[in-house]
Amino acid sequence: MAMRQTPLTCSGHTRPVVDLAFSGITPYGYFLISACKDGKPMLRQGDTGDWIGTFLGHKGAVWGATLNTDATKAATAAADFTAKVWDAVSGDEILTLAHKHIVKTVNFTQDSSRLLTGGNDKLLRIYDLSNPEAAPQEIAGHTSAIKKALWYNNDKQILSAAEDKTIRLWDRSSMQEVKTLTFDTSVSSMEYMPDGDILVITYGKTIAFYNALSLDLIKSVEAPAPINSASLHPEKDFFVAGGDDFKLYKFDYSNKEELESYKGHFGPVHCVRFSPDGELYASGSEDGTLRLWQTAVGKTYGLWKCVLPEDLGAENSEQLYTSPPEIKA
């Protein structure tokens, strides 16, 4: 029996959701943080979308948000010229790091000891979180606002994407630029899969996959519409993408075939990420919502329940909720 995707809508934000990130898998499950132009980033339980808490303190749109691997710390980047570090268990603000312009991106090292930030002042900054009073190390080079910055190659390098249509690779110790990739248009998103050594980059309608060690192009795929974000499944059999036509697309990674697409959001999709176990992917949209989508439609997982036809009439079946069916595009 064919099953139709039922996305789970997470409401709560009042403005566009511009960034989201999952934690690793912890003894308490995995978690999801969302960055929103309403200035109030939220933490949710990753497999259900249940709201856990809101990080209060920013005085402007939050452009970037991240969690450390065990979801004990969160970091956010905002239009109030600060990046903040939070205790992701209590919701308390730990640190405010003042910048000279809008901060767009934040990323923890694997051991959470350092925070990388980037933004409209075109500088990358590295903060030592055990010594936050100390001035951060700064890396200059980009000629336009930085959109995304990531720790790379076991935190030995840094990768950054900017409005200057380049992605630059920097060596952490020497702080020197090692390599530059130039594009015809500015890159809309980057995702780094350390386990598989793959870098996923989106620009225009293109979703491109690079070998993370050599930065050589492996393959690229053209989507039907401009894409703002894409994510590769942990097992590298699928990838998902979303963009300006409000739809989510799912592709086969090996043969690049478009497998499925879903309408659901009421605005452009700004960010999409697979969960660390690959069972679902989350999307954030201009419409102010996050939606969770099943990778294997119909499987029992999280709040989704596989119901066989013979169970539907049973007396002791659980109360089930069926939301209005989503139209398959």
Q: What gap in Å lies between CA 101 and CA 317, rounded to an integer?
A: 56
Judged by CB under 8 A, does residue 308 bind another protein? no
Contact status: 44 vs another protein (CB under 8 A) = yes
Cβ nearer to another protein, comparing 177 with 260: 260
Print the binding letters for residues 60-89 with another protein: x by CB under 8 A, - otherwise.
------------x--------------x-x
Report if residue 101 touches another protein, rule: CB under 8 A: no
Residue choice 11, 176, 180, 211 for contact with another protein (CB under 8 A): 11
Of positions 107, 189, 294, 295, contacts another protein by CB under 8 A: 294
Among 24, 59, 211, 314, binds another protein (CB under 8 A): 59
The minimum distance between CB 100 and another protein, in angstroms, equals 13
Looking at residue 157, its amino acid is: Q
112 touches another protein (CB under 8 A)? no
Stretch that binds another protein, among 108-116, 221-229, 235-243, 315-323 (CB under 8 A): 315-323
Element (H, E) at 95: strand 93-98
Q: At its nearest, how many Å lie between another protein and the CB of residue 14?
A: 10
Question: Which one of 28, 100, 214, 252 is in contact with another protein (CB under 8 A)?
Answer: 28
Rule CB under 8 A: say whether 54 interacts with another protein. Answer: yes
Cα 228 from Cα 264, distance rounded (Å): 16
Q: According to CB under 8 A, which one of 95, 145, 215, 307 is a site residue for another protein? A: 307
Going residue by residue from 188 to 227, which x/- string records binding to another protein, judged by CB under 8 A? ----------------------------------------
- Residues 284/276, Cβ–Cβ less than 8 Å: no
Are residues 169 and 179 in contact, defined by beta-carbon separation less than 8 angstroms?
yes
Interatomic CA distance for residues 52 and 88, integer angstroms: 10
d(CA 130, CA 74): 15
Distance between CA atoms of residues 282 and 77, nearest Å: 20
Q: Does 303 bind another protein (CB under 8 A)?
A: yes
CB atoms within 10 A of CB 14: 11
Return all residues near 100 (Cβ < 8 A) that are at least 6 apart. Answer: 81, 121
98 binds another protein per the rule CB under 8 A: no
Tell the smallest beta-carbon distance from residue 10 to another protein (Å): 5
What separation in angstroms does the CA of 251 have from each of 72, 221, 238?
33, 9, 6
Nearer to another protein, 141 or 264 (CB): 264
Q: What are the φ/ψ torsions at residue 309 (nearest 5 degrees)? A: -55, -40
Q: Say how many residues touch another protein, by CB under 8 A.
A: 48
What contacts 22, CB < 8 A, 6 or more positions away?
30, 31, 32, 46, 67, 273, 274, 275, 276, 282
- Determine the Cα–Cα distance for residues 161 and 131; give it in Å rounded to an integer: 27
Using rule CB under 8 A, residue 232 touches another protein: no
> Which one among 2, 98, 134, 135 touches another protein, defined by CB under 8 A?
2
CB 70 within 8 A of CB 32: no
Interface residues with another protein (CB under 8 A)? 1-6, 8-12, 28, 42-44, 48-57, 59, 72, 87, 89-91, 292, 294, 297-298, 303-307, 318, 320-323, 325-326, 328
